[in-house]
Amino acid sequence: MAAETAFAKINLALHVRRREDDGYHAIETLFAFAEDGDRLTLTEEPGLSVSGPFAAALAEGDNLVIRAAEAYAEATGRQPAGFRLEKNLPVAAGIGGGSADAAAALRLLCTRDHIDTGDVRIRELAASLGADVPACLVSRPVRGEKRGDSLIPLDGVPSGQPLLLVNPMRPLATGPVFAHWDGVDRGPLDQGDPIEAAGKGRNDLEPPAIAILPVIGDILTLLASQKGVLLARMSGSGATCFALFDREASRDLAADAVAAEHRDWWLMRTRLR
C-alpha cells in the first residue's frame, strides 16, 4: 500500500508579534523539515491503527489523521480511507507530530485520487485542521505569516544540513505556552537569506516554555556548547529543541555526548530535507 513520511517540522525562528481579537497570535516563522518522522500507510481497512515507540502517548478517540480523512471525503466526495500510523515522534513536542500526520494523510489521499495538493479545497482543508498543517502539507522550507498558515516559499535553506532533535520526554501543550507569552512585540523577522534571518532571529516562545518546563533551558545550553553547532533553538512551542551542525560527524559526536549524559531524553539524528 502507498505510504508517506510525516516529516518532523522545526521552526528555525518564531516571532510572536501580537494577539489578534479572535484569540490567535500573529506570528512570523521560518519552517524547515527533517528527512525523518512518523510513517503513515493507506490501508483497505477503515479507521486508524497505531504502532511505534510513541503509540501509547496518542489520546484515544479524536485524531488529526481521522479528522483529515473525514474532511477530505466531505470536501471532495471521494471515498473514505483507513490508515496505519507508525508513531516515531514524541507527542506535544513542537515538531508538528499531529499536523505532519494529518498532512501526510492528505498527500496520500490526493495521490490516490489524482488531486493536486495545491487545489484550493485541499489548502483550505489543511488550514482548517490547524495552523501548522498547511506548512506540513508542503513539507519544504517556507516562511509562515499571520497564524503561520500564510506561506511564502523559501530558497537558501540547505538540504542535507545535519540536524539533531532532542526532547526531554515531557509533553508540553501549546496553549499554556502562548498564554505565558508576555505580549511584547520584539520586532519582525528579517527577510532575505533564511539562515542569516534565523541566526539574527529568535523563538519568542522559549522564555515562557522554559518557565513552565525548565529542562528546556538545560537542553539549549547543552546543545549550544557542542562542537560544530551552527544554531541551537527550541522548535515551536517546545519541548523539542534542535541543533544544526557543520557536518554529520559533529552532530553524531554531540548526540553521543547528550545521550551519555541524559539517557532518558529522546534524540533523533537526521538532516534537513
Q: What are the grid coordinates assigned to 156, written together?
A: 537558501
Q: Is 200 a catalytic residue?
A: no
Question: Which among 36, 38, 132, 149 is annotated as catalytic?
Answer: 132
Indicate which residue of 9, 36, 87, 149 is catalytic. 9
Tell me if residue 22 is catalytic.
no
Q: Look at residue 66 and give its three-state secondary structure.
A: helix
DSSP label at 227? Answer: T
CB-CB contact of 136 with 96 (8 Å): yes
Helices 97-113 and 64-76 pack at an angle, to 10 degrees, of 30
**Number of DSSP helices (H) and strands (E) in the chain, helices first:** 9, 10
Amino acid at 157: V
Euclidean distance between CA atoms 162 and 147, whole angstroms = 28
Torsion sign, CA atoms 68, 74, 77, 80: positive
Q: Which residues are catalytic?
A: 9, 132
